[in-house]
């Protein structure tokens, strides 16, 4: 080991340290502190609000030993007891022996706009103090403390240039031992159940996953002390650092910040750590807080016009196998189109062979497609560079990425990378199997939602839902996937299920039922058609995480969009009358529609109210209600806005398919008609040159029309020339028409597209891995091209290797598997070297079969891992469709990574 060289340090003032935190108005400097007889000193920062019972004050204390502590009061009453501050690096202990060398103060005020969330327009004012301390060895530690009207936060500044390695933090939040606590055992998925307990006794509620007398709890963690609530979490975490959680020793009232996996983090200095954050106040303050976003860096995206929150229907929850069924996914698209939903989300099981066609089908109906990915398919830059532009070219507008399950620094570096890449491609993103939001949606506004919750897919727990309203959903959008009305053995009422997408905020709200389940609840359908997913204002109306006198728990939350208020109320426990004071409505008379449960199902009632009224809804066990209020007007009988859908149109190409040799030219004609209805506006027809293969060209002009009446025909003509070096196979030439969405607002144009399929005759040697798959099935992950099967992601395999021989070309499969390829009747022979890939270290057993037009042409017996490749060939003369199939050898498909080495066709010249 080389001896460590001591770094040459550069003195940095408190002003320079503060520059790491961001800009703001400096209003005071070098403010005085109080001192005690034992030599300790205290510096106070008070929030910007007017003096009163709710004003927050944070006190940083430096004791005689040079140890730092932080305490917080609300209206003069302690809410956080003195907790340790400090940090340790591989070179410096900055937790003790400290002395103050500089202090700077300022007021930070920011206004910004979100694309998602509980409040789109934000304004934040925070008092900030930067205290710079020096350790015994001369190293400096900056502590930046911010206090707002809804909480406090602090972070550390390490000013050394070069590499900085943080080994641990001393950061500790200390609560009164008897403070009520709502804690969640820590797992990186954040899908464990929360429990009500006390600050000191939290470990007793923890499953047996503790290390001795220390248990770990996940953010956000809620406490109640006196009349105040404290919600602990963190903000502004990215690849410079790791996520953290809270460690708690049995019987203690202190909760210490612990880095993910207790592993050091290494970054280039100067380094600003994440904000250690406490949202403090009454429950209304907690629910309405935007502190986590306020602490996050500003948006990295200037033009957010392509980012659109909305509803999607999502089939996986209620119809688990349907994401792999093209025709069934069309049913969900049809439902979305009929009911004005913006999206259909296609989850695990989709096939690249049919997704482009589904996208075209959906976009013609005014519906956009969202596509699920296992993160293993997007883990590397090469994988993202392959997949993200491809799905964008298909017309997919967003991705749902799953299974990250980690808070490590390397995982946050991956978040940085995929957020940058999706922003470049104008793809929205939903993180599933993910960590909690830490201000991510402000910095990267294409993030529409994040799971990090034990949601509807994990079974039902009405009490859990109450806790979530006051914990997890406070800090960011929450992908809970509600509204599975037809769920077998459902544990809540219909009205409560309908209330969940109001109570739980999510920029994309994935509705959990199937079309048939929604159709059985027309009252719910009508409400969901009106429901926004991004809000101008959010209010806690009533309820809390604690039990009511009747033995139940309740949460009633109101959210405003423009001039309409949507209200959701949920109850956990015994039946009770839910009460919702309507003071949030403001002046004047309001029309209030309320949906509650009856013996016959959901029932809607309408009445006129004012802000002085209180809504009372009798609710059954685990019941609830949903409501919407709008300004009353003469003759107005409901709060509905019209659901506008895209009209049926017709786009035809002549020809629809053709065959052309390299260098040949193909004429393309297009005709677009609106058979009946009103008039289309801002119509444009084009052949999409950007999606032609390299070397291809097209001539002809776009066709535009300011308006197109029903029955009128819009036509266009182009000539496409095939690239001279184009290999054999099938190429799609897209022609599309766009027109202004009749829904108006920020709805994107309706996109109607058809494909001219140009068959390029296969010639010479053609490889199976270079051809499009007509169909594809695989026992584990996707079929891989020119690499082994790997894991569940696409492009995550290794070089194809059988018996020590490496093959540059070929297919990697996992039994049982099958692909079909169009070989046009032009190829006379297929040859491959087949066997089990060496990556399985001698394990696995498979069979290989070659079929032509459904007829077996060649096959192997059972081949086992560790053996040399077997030559497999077949006469394919006259065959149109070639099928390559892998069986499991009769003993299951574990370790059955089957390689088709080379997999080449000999075709006519």
Active site residues: 402, 457
Residue with tokens 């992950």: 781
CA distances from 343 to 23, 340, 366, 455, 748 (A): 39, 9, 9, 20, 12
Look at the block and give the residue holding tokens 């019972």.
53
Find the Cα–Cα–Cα–Cα dihedral 584, 585, 591, 593, rounded to 10°: -20
Nearest to 314 by CA among 520, 490, 534, 508: 508
Report the Cα 637 to chain-centroid distance in Å: 38
d(CA 22, CA 43): 22
Find, among 289, 284, 344, 42, the residue nearest to 149 by Cα: 289
Q: Which helix (DSSP H) or strand (DSSP E) does residue 730 occupy?
A: strand 729-739
β-strand partners of 605: 594
Helix (H, G, I), strand (E, B) or coil at 543: strand
CA 195 to chain centre: 26
Q: Which of 92, 231, 228 is nearest to 160 (CA)?
A: 92
Q: Is 440 helix (H, G, I), strand (E, B) or coil?
A: helix
Q: Return the exposure string of 504-517: e unless at least 16 CB atoms fall within 10 Å of the residue's CB, then b.
A: bbbbbbbbbbbbeb
Helix/strand/coil percent split, the chain, to 5 = 15, 45, 40
- Of 152, 164, 7, 174, nearest to 81 (Cα)? 174
**3-class SS letters over 574-632:** CCEEEEEECHHHCCCCEEEEEEEEECCEEEEEEEEECCCCEEEEEECCCCEEEEEEEEC
779 vs 792: CA distance, rounded Å = 10
**Distant-in-sequence, close-in-space partners of 720: CB < 8 Å, separation ≥ 6:** 665, 666, 668, 687, 692, 696, 697, 698, 733, 756, 758
Gap between the Cα atoms of 394 and 372, Å rounded: 14
Contact by Cβ (8 Å): 85, 170:
yes
Question: What gap in Å lies between CA 749 and CA 646, rounded to an integer?
Answer: 10
* Structure tokens that stand for 739 in this block: 């027109």
CB atoms within 10 A of CB 640: 15
Distance CA 505, CA 116 (A): 9
Verify cis geometry, omega within 30 degrees of 0, for the bond prior to 655: yes
| Omega cis (within 30) before 541 | no
Beta bridge partners of 895: none
Closest CA to 653 of 673, 671, 665: 671
Distances (CA, A) of 767 to 695, 727, 795, 830: 21, 10, 18, 9
Question: How far apart, in whole angstroms, are the C-alpha atoms of residue 662 and residue 877?
Answer: 23
Six-digit token string for 139: 């190293």
Taking the C-alpha atoms of residue 412 and residue 330, their distance in angstroms, rounded to an integer, is 36
CB 738 within 8 A of CB 749: yes
């Amino acid at each position: 080991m080389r001896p460590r060289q001591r770094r040459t340090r550069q003195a940095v003032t408190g002003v320079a340290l503060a520059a790491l935190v961001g800009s703001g108005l400096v209003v005071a400097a070098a403010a005085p502190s109080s001192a005690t007889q034992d030599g300790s000193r205290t510096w106070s920062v008070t929030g910007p609000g007017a003096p009163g019972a709710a004003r927050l004050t944070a006190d940083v204390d430096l004791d005689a030993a040079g140890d730092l502590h932080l305490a917080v009061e609300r209206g003069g009453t302690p809410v956080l007891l003195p907790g340790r501050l400090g940090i340790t690096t591989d070179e410096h202990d900055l937790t003790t022996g400290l002395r103050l060398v500089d202090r700077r103060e300022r007021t930070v005020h920011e206004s910004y706009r979100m694309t998602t969330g509980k409040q789109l327009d934000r304004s934040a004012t925070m008092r900030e103090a930067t205290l710079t301390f020096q350790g015994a060895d001369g190293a400096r530690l900056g502590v930046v403390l911010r206090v707002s009207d809804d909480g406090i936060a602090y972070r550390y500044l390490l000013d050394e240039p070069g590499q900085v390695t943080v080994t641990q933090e001393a950061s500790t939040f200390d609560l009164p031992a008897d403070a009520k606590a709502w804690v969640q055992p820590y797992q990186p998925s954040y899908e464990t159940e929360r429990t009500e307990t006390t600050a000191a006794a939290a470990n007793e509620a923890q499953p047996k996953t503790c290390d001795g007398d220390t248990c770990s709890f996940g953010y956000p963690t809620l406490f109640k002390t006196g009349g105040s609530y404290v919600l602990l979490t963190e903000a502004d975490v990215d690849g410079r650092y790791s996520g953290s959680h809270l460690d708690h020793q049995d019987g203690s009232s202190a909760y210490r910040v612990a880095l993910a996996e207790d592993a050091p983090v290494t970054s280039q200095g100067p380094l600003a750590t994440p904000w250690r954050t406490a949202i403090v106040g009454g429950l209304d303050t907690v629910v309405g807080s935007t502190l986590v976003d306020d602490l996050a860096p500003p948006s990295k995206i200037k033009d957010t016009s392509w980012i659109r929150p909305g509803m999607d229907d999502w089939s996986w929850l209620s119809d688990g196998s349907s994401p792999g069924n093209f025709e069934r996914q069309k049913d969900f698209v049809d439902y979305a189109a009929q009911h004005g939903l913006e999206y259909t989300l296609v989850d695990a099981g989709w096939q690249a062979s049919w997704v482009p066609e589904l996208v075209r089908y959906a976009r013609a109906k005014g519906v956009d497609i969202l596509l699920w990915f296992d993160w293993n398919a997007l883990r590397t830059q090469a994988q993202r560079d392959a997949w993200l532009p491809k799905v964008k070219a298909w017309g997919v507008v967003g991705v749902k990425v799953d299974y990250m399950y980690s808070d490590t620094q390397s995982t946050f570096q991956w978040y940085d990378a995929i957020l940058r890449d999706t922003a470049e491609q104008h793809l929205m993103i939903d993180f599933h199997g993910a960590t909690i939001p830490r201000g991510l949606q402000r910095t990267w506004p294409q993030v529409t939602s994040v799971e990090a919750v034990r949601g509807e897919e994990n079974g039902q727990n009405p009490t859990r839902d109450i806790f979530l309203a006051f914990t997890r959903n406070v800090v960011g959008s929450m992908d809970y996937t509600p509204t599975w009305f037809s769920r077998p053995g459902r544990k809540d009422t219909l009205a409560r299920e309908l209330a969940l997408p109001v109570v739980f905020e999510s920029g994309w709200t994935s509705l959990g039922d199937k079309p048939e389940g929604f159709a059985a609840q027309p009252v719910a359908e009508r409400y969901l058609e009106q429901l926004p997913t991004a809000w101008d204002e959010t209010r806690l109306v009533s309820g809390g995480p604690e039990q009511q006198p009747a033995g139940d728990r309740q949460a009633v939350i109101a959210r405003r969009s423009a001039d309409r208020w949507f209200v959701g109320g949920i109850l956990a426990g015994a039946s009770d009358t839910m009460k919702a004071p309507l003071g949030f409505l403001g002046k004047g008379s309001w029309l209030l529609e309320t949906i509650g449960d009856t013996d016959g199902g959901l029932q809607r009632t309408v009445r006129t109210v004012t802000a002085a009224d209180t809504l009372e809804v009798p609710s059954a066990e685990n019941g609830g209600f949903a409501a919407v209020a709008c300004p009353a007007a003469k003759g107005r009988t409901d709060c509905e806005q019209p659901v506008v859908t895209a009209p049926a149109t017709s786009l035809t190409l002549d020809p629809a398919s053709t065959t052309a040799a390299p260098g040949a030219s193909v004429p393309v004609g297009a005709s677009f008609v609106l058979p009946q209805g009103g008039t289309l506006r801002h119509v444009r027809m084009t052949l999409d040159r950007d999606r032609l293969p390299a070397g291809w060209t097209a001539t002809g002009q776009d066709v535009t029309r300011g308006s197109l009446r029903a029955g009128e025909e819009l036509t266009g003509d182009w000539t496409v020339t095939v690239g001279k070096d184009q290999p054999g196979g099938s190429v799609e030439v897209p022609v599309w028409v766009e027109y202004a969405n009749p829904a108006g607002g920020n709805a994107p144009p309706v996109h109607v597209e058809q494909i001219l399929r140009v068959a390029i005759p296969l010639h010479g040697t053609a490889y199976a891995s270079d051809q499009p798959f007509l169909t594809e099935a695989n026992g584990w992950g996707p079929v891989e091209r020119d690499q082994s099967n790997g894991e569940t992601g696409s492009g995550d395999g290794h070089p194809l290797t059988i018996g020590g021989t490496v093959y540059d070309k070929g297919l990697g499969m996992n039994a049982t598997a099958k692909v079909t390829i169009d070989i046009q009747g032009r190829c006379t022979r297929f040859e491959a070297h087949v066997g089990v890939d060496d990556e399985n270290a001698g394990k696995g057993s498979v069979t290989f079969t070659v079929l032509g037009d459904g007829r077996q042409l060649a096959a192997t017996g059972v081949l086992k891992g560790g053996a040399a490749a077997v030559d497999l060939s077949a006469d394919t003369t006259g065959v149109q469709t070639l099928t390559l199939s892998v069986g499991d050898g009769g003993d299951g498909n574990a370790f059955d990574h089957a390689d088709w080495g080379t997999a080449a066709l000999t075709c006519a010249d």
